Amino acid sequence: MSADILTLDNARSLLGLSGPVGADGLTTAFRAAVKAARPDHPGGDAERFRRVIAAYRLLQAQTLALPAPRARPFVAPPIPAPLLVVTPMQAVSGGCMQVKLGARVLLVHIPPGLRTSDRIRLAQGGPDGADVLLPVLIRPADGLSVLGGDLFMTCAAPRRTMEDGGRVEILTHAGPQTAWVVPGMADPVRVRLKGLGLPARGRRPAGDLFVKLEASADLPSAAEDLLLRFTRVWTPERIAA
């Protein structure tokens, strides 16, 4: 091999490279090789020093001559799945609602017993025909709020019943319900109506309804209400008739 002829393989060998490298790798290899070949260092050699520099220039020219990598085509990010916001009563009873997904409006079936963080699958709902998972969020509405599978509401109760104890009638989503208050209950007074929360779904049992009772002087107690009804029925005019 002539000392003046330098091939790419010779150049890579002089720099300690086993194959093509990028610009950063080439610079790192050249610095190590030229430092070891410096004539003023022990073990250095002027001819090898010159050939290392020539090898670097040859490989550097080849690196610069390589075609630039093709830019990747722009791919639009997937449309994020919208949040499916439902009311407590929709979570209790189920139903249907419209959801906008991109330029399309889809009809979504809501099964009873949904919980916040559940996901509803829309088969082939995505723009490319892929399934879409809609995360569920239950927001308070109509005096009801939800925590887990339990419902929470507030109800006015007669002040005398709250103080002395007695029966309280509560109008719930499942119809009128009766609860009993005992004297001396700590404030706030809450009653628990079992099984009147979100319905069971999968392995999750039905939740409960927790009602916070607030004293109101305007409402008659159960005894006063019964007496009022009795008075309305057995008035002297009705008896005379």
Grade residue 1 by pLDDT with cuts at 50, 70 and 90.
very low
120 or 234: which leads in pLDDT? 120
7 or 19: which leads in pLDDT? 7
Burial letters for 188-215: b for 16+ Cβ neighbours within 10 Å, e otherwise? ebebebeebbbbebeeeeebbbbbebee
**pLDDT tops 70 at residue 6:** yes
229 or 241: which leads in pLDDT? 229
CA 203 from centroid of its chain's CA atoms: 21
User: 45-73: per-residue pLDDT in tens?
Assistant: 888 888 888 888 888 887 766 665 676 77
d(CA 86, CA 144): 12
Percent of the chain with pLDDT over 70: 79
Coil/strand/helix, residue 73: coil
94-104 mean pLDDT: 83
- Please report the pLDDT score of residue 225 as a whole number: 59
Q: Which domains does the chain have, with CATH numbers?
A: 8-65 (1.10.287.110), 84-138 (2.60.260.20), 149-233 (2.60.260.20)
66 or 5: which leads in pLDDT? 5
Lowest mean pLDDT among 7-11, 104-108, 148-152, 228-232: 228-232
